[in-house]
Every structure is written in structure tokens, then in C-alpha cells.
Structure 1
């Protein structure tokens, strides 16, 4: 509080994100000021939630609206106001579009892709064995794996995959690209996806996009063609990007915990739990994302948030809340309960969760099993991170190893 009794408004993010470190000030706020007032670089002031229960409540309560952000100057990192498609919608409009997205991102599709993902993973590790360390694992393993899987799922022809990957970066950019370039890439992605939808309607293949088209065409409240393209671009195109940055960050964490990496080799049955713990433990965003506006007065954690106020919740902070997770600063693959919020909560829960879990499990199990003594090839402080992104994204991940097993 200020001397006059008003709440202090802090600039947010509190510091420049450093690698995968979580600003310790989140811990201070959880203990002393779980709902605080913040000012992001652009847009309205907002309430910041840092405790697990409060963040979960805001994500789940329909009295907090995403659609209202389109009518206001929403708190944000970048200068440009971006319509995020489904992520800027509330039910029932959101539910109508989400139903089509869910049709393509089913556990069945992930299970169907698991053997292919395993095959691609083994081939990429075989290729690593022909290279002399140090090697950029992002360029030689992580990106080819992620792009191949999402393109197989969408039915993107091989010759188009490089452009598809490049244009998709615009979906998660803030200041790393000029606004004109972001718009150009998004327009290219929209045009490309519209052509791909038309192709897959005429020539269906066993994949996500064909499943989505089928559900859309048979639905009584069916989407327009533009809405179908919107679903594909805003939810599905970033899938490869998110897998690249998440897997790279997870591998860096594992290399910093060599004992835990060795345990995964000896106990591969721990891999699914390890992936969940890595989701909880590893900060994903550089700050909070996707503010919501209160549609009426709502009490959260003992504080009344007035109608019209913006609220942002730190999932990274919530996932380190000691009231929910014992020893939250430790990486524990045998944590008895792990109700993390890494994939979101409520009607904006990540629709690609099944696919993400499958890819992360396959890649981590294979690396632990086949690559001995995987380690950074440079000092950790020399790693370069992309600037102007809403996510923590390494430019390169130079690694070495002692042996790659067949």
C-alpha cells in the first residue's frame, strides 16, 4: 500500500526474464499481496493473481471475459492489439468453434501419430549419431520433430513445411517482428490454410484437418469457411512452435538435473509423470498472458474485483504455490499429486494437450534411453533467448554427449 492507503501499481513484468528463472518477487506476492495492481508496457492497469486458487478461479469463472478484451485497451507486452481468434471469445461463440477444434485434436489422433512420432524421433537420433558435437539440438532434432508431426497431423505437403513453420512464428511474436511483418505472415498463413482446407475437402486424408472439416460440414450450426480457417490458424498452426520451445526448455532443465535424467533412462515408466512435473516446474511465458475483464463485481481471494477491471493470472507462480505443491521449487518426478495449470483451465484449456503430452513423452524417453551424458556444450549464461516474445524461447541449444546408443 502507498502512504495514502491506495494500492501501489507496479510495472510488470517485474524484471527482464532470465532464462528459465522465475522472478522471486512472485513468491513475495503470494505470501504478502496475492492480488496486486500492475501496469504492463501497454494497455490498461490490471489485477495480478499469484496464488494457485485465485488463478484457477479466474481461469474457470465465466464472470471473467476474454471477449471483453476486444472492446478495451487490454494489458499486453507488445504495442499491437491482436485478435487471438478463439482465445478472444467467450461461450457460446467459443464453444461452437471449439467443438470443431476438438474434433481434430482427439486422443485417437495422438495415439495414431505415436508410432510415427517414435519412428521420426529414432531417425533423428540416428542422424545425431553421425554428427560431431557440439550440435544445436533445436535445429537438428527438436524443430524437425515438431514440424514433421504437426504437418502430418494437418496434412501439409512436404514442400510447404518450411514456409508453414516460418509464418507460424507470427502467432507468438510481440516485438520480435515489426507489425507489418506479423500481419504479412498471418495473411500468408490464412491464405495457405484456406487453400489447405479446400484441398483436404476434395482429397481427404486421415488427419486432424480432415476430421475438423467433416465435423464442420455435418454440424447444424456449422462454421463459416472463414471461421474454420480461423480455428486452424489460431489454435493449430502454433502447435509446432510451442512444441519446439517447450521441448528445448524441458531438455535444458533435465541437463541441469543429470540425476533425474539418468533416472528416466533406468525407469522409463516415470516419463509420463516427469513430463507433468516439467510442465509444472518450467516457466513457459515471459509474463502473464490473456487478460480477462470482470463482467460484474467478483470477490477473489478476499479482494473485490470491480466490474470492468482487467485481471491477469500468473500460471508460473500458481504452479509454485507451496499451499498446493510440497517443495514447489524442487523437481520431483514422483510427486503424489500434480494438479498444475500448465495447460490452462476452464473453457480455454489447451485443446492440444493430448498431442503435446505424446510428443514430449516420446522425445524425452528416446533421448534418455539413447544419448549418454547429454549436457550443455556452452556455459548456461551464454545461451541466447529470443526477445520480444510472450514465451521463453531459446535461439539455440548447443549440446554434447559421450555416446549415442543404437
Structure 2
């Protein structure tokens, strides 16, 4: 986790030095080491956002908001919804430039500049428009903004050459100082606390043992008396199913107690009415309210980093939630949690279940990536299979990074 944080810090520093693509790669490395590094995920989304890749930016923030429950990512998502309109304005502006409608293009680009979205491309075309209009100082300002984010940007360099052709240097202007104007960046105020989803389904089931064999040895009176004394407590220790207790749990919607009592008696030989009551409890536990209760209780414990207790809640949701809309989420979180607690065998079990049953789900690319990481050092053939599936089905995924490519190339 410390290495993931260091990589994030390097990415932020490199970005401020105008190396946006190198910063994106460092974010990928950071995320590959710790998928719960909310800072790295938010920064990567922001870099895509500045570069005009709205789809990747939103997908990155969506994962961070949904999986890590990050409020900053959620805010980015909400704020970026309006940028689809800015994208249309940008496309119209580019077409206007091609048709030499410079004033129309510039007005559209100014509207786009109200947001930081796509600022690299927007400022490049604004610079071009200002050059065409002879407003060279404004053009240089736009170029500086581009180079502060991407100092190797090819279009910005072309615009610099164009200014040189017009013999514009500006009084006291030195092109070697380009990049000093730093683009105002949305401040990322987040914690880097690792949120690792933890679940380990260890359910303690009480088992009632039958009383010791009743052997009466009549060797002497004393042994007979001892034998009789042993019989008496055995009758007292036999627990009976309490219909009233179960009904009370049902009436009060005490899902935890209902679950525990159900687990204790579900396989016992009960009378007709008692058996019906246990079956009724099973139906209630399979209902949306109970499943969501177990899911939320597990999830809240994850947020407080009490992973061991969280595992129990999520597993209960898994046991009874096969018909609930949360079921794909439950399976994914179980796999992710086992993976985070180094139980790779159990992680593979749940990841495979997700891949087989929910291959079109929201977490499929994350599942494939986790399988690549699990197998890359032990079974390279399997790792390569999942890596190829990831790159083929999700070419724009944030998980489609250098690690995946290195596995494919082995």
C-alpha cells in the first residue's frame, strides 16, 4: 500500500511538471498495487478528463464511487454530466475552424472553457483561432496552458511554429519559458486509506450432540446410582425448538437472530408446524429486506475496516440473495474480499462465478483483471487467457494497463 501511495505522489508531481501521459501510467501502477487507492483513481480520471476522454474519466470515477464509496469521485461524476454538451460544442467548433468560421469557432470554444473538461484540445484550437485573428498574446496564453499539462503536445508545438512564422515573440517573451502558466486543477481532497473489501464466510454453526450412550452397569448399587444420576441431566440438556422464539424473531424482523436460529434447526427432525415455521423463516431471509440488511451490515463494517465481521454479513446475503438485484455485487465483493485477505482459492471461486454468470456486469473487467493478477505468477496460461479476454472485451478499461500487456506478451 505504501508503494501505491508513493506512485500516486509521483504521478501528481509528474503531472504538475507537464507530463500527463507519464502521470497516467504511474496512476495505473499505483492502482494495480492497491485498487482501493481513491486518490490514484480520482487523479487518473481527472487526467483523462483534461485530455478529453470523458468516457474513461467517468468510468474511472464510477468505479471509485461505487466500489470505494468515495464522495469526491461521486461529485466528479455529477459535475461531468454537463460536459457531454461541451463535447458537442467542441466538435462543432472544430468543424467551424475547418470551414474557416473562426469567430463562430472561438465563441464555442470560450463556452467550452467554462469547464476544465478537454482543456488541452480546447486551448489548442483557441490558440489556433487567435493566431488566425492576429491576437498573438492570447494565442500564446492558450499554448502555455496546454504545455503546462502536456509539455510535449504536438499541436501546441505546431502553434508555436506558426507564431514564429508570424515573427511574434512578444516584448520580453521567451518561448523557452513555456509551461510556467499552470492550469488550475480541481483539488483532490481525499484520504488514501486503503479500503479493501473483506469478506470471509466463516459461519459458526452450533451442533447439538446426542447425549452419551445410556449404559447401565449393574455391577454394584453404587455404579447403578451413578448411572441414574447421569441420566437426569441428559434430559435437562436436550434443547427443544421454541416456536415462540422463532415467531418473535419473525415478528420483530430480527434477521440476525432469525438467521442463527434457522441455521441451528434447519436440518433437525421437527414436527409439522415447527417445520413450517422454519421454512417461513427461510422465505423471509430470502426476501429483499433481509438480503439488503445483511448486505448493508457487511458493507458498513467494511467501511469501518472490520473485515472479519463484514465477511459474515456478506456471506449471509450470498446464501439467501440469489434472486436479489444485489447478487452480482455480493459475489464480486466476496471475491474481492477474499483476494484482499490473501485467500486466493476462495477469491478465484467467486470471481469465476461472477465471470460465468454476470460476464456483462459492471465489475467484469475488474474481475478479469484480478484473475490476471492472481494467476500471473503461478499459472501464466490462465493469466494470459484472462488478459486477452480483458483487452478484447474492454479495450478502454482502466484495468487494461501495462501489467496486462506484459502478461499477454509472455
Q: How does the TM-score come out when normalised to structure 1?
A: 0.22
- Larger helix proportion of the pair: 2
- Larger strand proportion of the pair: 1
Q: Whose RCO is larger (CA < 8 A, sep 6+)?
A: 1
Q: How does the TM-score come out when normalised to structure 2?
A: 0.22
Task: Flag the structure with larger Rg.
Answer: 2
